Chains A and B, each alone.
Chain A
Amino acid sequence: MFKDLNPILHSQLRLAVISILISVKEAEFTYLREKTDATAGNLSVQINKLKEAGYIDVSKSFKDNYPQTICRITPQGVRAFEEYVRDLQSYLNIKK
């Protein structure tokens, strides 16, 4: 049953990122790194995976001459997250 959970979201760091992005309209890369305690490299890889899955949008710009990466969840990401939570709840209910 557990393997039926969305593999893109069933990863600690990716799930943490999506959980933050579902709570806010948009967040900078540095904010996500701060909240997840992840390294920049690992976070960057996981964000890319979420982006490739179409779950988040990533836009890059400059702020005070420093590169700035802003992430926001897409409607597809919201649906995937809701489905993941539903699957998780039904899994836990069955297990009980």
Chain B
Amino acid sequence: MEQENEFSGQESLALITKMINKARRDYLDTGLSALLWGSVITFCSLVTFANHYLDWPALEYVWWLTVAAIIPQIVIVIREGKDRKYRAYEDDLIGGIWISFGIAIFLLAYIVSVYHVAEPAPLFLVLYGIPTFATGYARRFRPMLIGGVTCWVLAIVSHYTPYPYTMLSLAVAAQLAWFIPGLIIRKRYLKAKAQHVQRS
């Protein structure tokens, strides 16, 4: 695109469309955050499920892993911010939604423990669905839309499911809402990165 040639109206409209699509398609997350939380929640849920039968006291603290996972999450956010060459309009909005979710989930965990809620899984699943669906909606990313809806469906299912099977709902939700979309995003990211390296 070096020349300042005269170009027709049709060409002009085609160029606008092409550039807008290029910028829109270019949204690329590394997928690491989704993979991290998908793995951590799946792991904690399955360990809790298994511990119902194993009954090892040490495993009761497995959910503290979610607190520890904040550290790699901060590292991921800082690195992604450094590598990002542009900011989309919805970036701040989506960032705000996930920060609110993070705060809400820890508050909910606190409230649930204070009030000794017998089966909190449906409450967590309802919350899981909100940022997941919102992100899928804003990014037009179907796997996260499906993941968000799945969380809400599983919230209803787990309301009628006895413990420890509710833990399996949490694990399935974490896989469908975060881990699998994370894998898809990661694959796209690595593919785009490889193409970029080839071009330069």
Residue total for B at the interface (Cβ-Cβ under 8 A): 28
By the criterion CB–CB under 8 Å, are B16 and A27 in contact? no
Nearest-neighbor residue (CB-CB) of A22 within chain B: B20
Identify the interface centre among A19, A31, A91: most chain B CB within 10 Å of its CB. Answer: A19
By the criterion CB–CB under 8 Å, are B88 and A12 in contact? no
By the criterion CB–CB under 8 Å, are A23 and B24 in contact? yes
Within 8 Å by CB of B2, from A22, A28, A42, A63, lies A42
A83 to B38, CA, bound (A): 46
A58 to B172, CA, bound (A): 47
A-B residue pair count with CB separations less than 8 angstroms: 85
By the criterion CB–CB under 8 Å, are A12 and B9 in contact? no
A-B contact pairs, 26 of them (CB 8 A): A12-B3, A13-B4, A15-B15, A16-B15, A22-B20, A23-B24, A24-B86, A24-B87, A25-B86, A25-B91, A26-B86, A27-B85, A28-B86, A31-B85, A31-B86, A34-B85, A34-B196, A35-B23, A35-B26, A36-B19, A39-B2, A88-B9, A88-B12, A88-B13, A89-B13, A92-B9
B196 CB contacts on chain A under 8 angstroms? 34
Nearest-neighbor residue (CB-CB) of A46 within chain B: B4
The yes or no answer to A11 lying at the interface (CB within 8 A) is: yes
B154 CB to nearest A CB, Å: 35
Once A25-B89, A88-B13 are accepted as A-B contacts, the answer to whether A12 and B7 lie under 8 Å apart by CB is yes
A37 to B200, CA, bound (A): 11
Within 8 A of A (CB), among B135-152: none
By the criterion CB–CB under 8 Å, are A24 and B15 in contact? no
The yes or no answer to B198 lying at the interface (CB within 8 A) is: no
A79 to B118, CA, bound (A): 57
A88 CB to nearest B CB, Å: 5
A61 CB to nearest B CB, Å: 13
The yes or no answer to A20 lying at the interface (CB within 8 A) is: yes
Within 8 A of A (CB), among B11-32: 12-13, 15-16, 18-20, 22-24, 26
Residue total for A at the interface (Cβ-Cβ under 8 A): 34
Provide the main secondary structure of the chain A interface: helix
A88 to B14, CA, bound (A): 11
Nearest-neighbor residue (CB-CB) of A41 within chain B: B2
By the criterion CB–CB under 8 Å, are A16 and B1 in contact? yes
A75 to B23, CA, bound (A): 19
The yes or no answer to A53 lying at the interface (CB within 8 A) is: no
A40 to B172, CA, bound (A): 49
Once A10-B12, A12-B15, A16-B15 are accepted as A-B contacts, the answer to whether A24 and B23 lie under 8 Å apart by CB is yes
By the criterion CB–CB under 8 Å, are B16 and A85 in contact? yes
By the criterion CB–CB under 8 Å, are A23 and B87 in contact? no
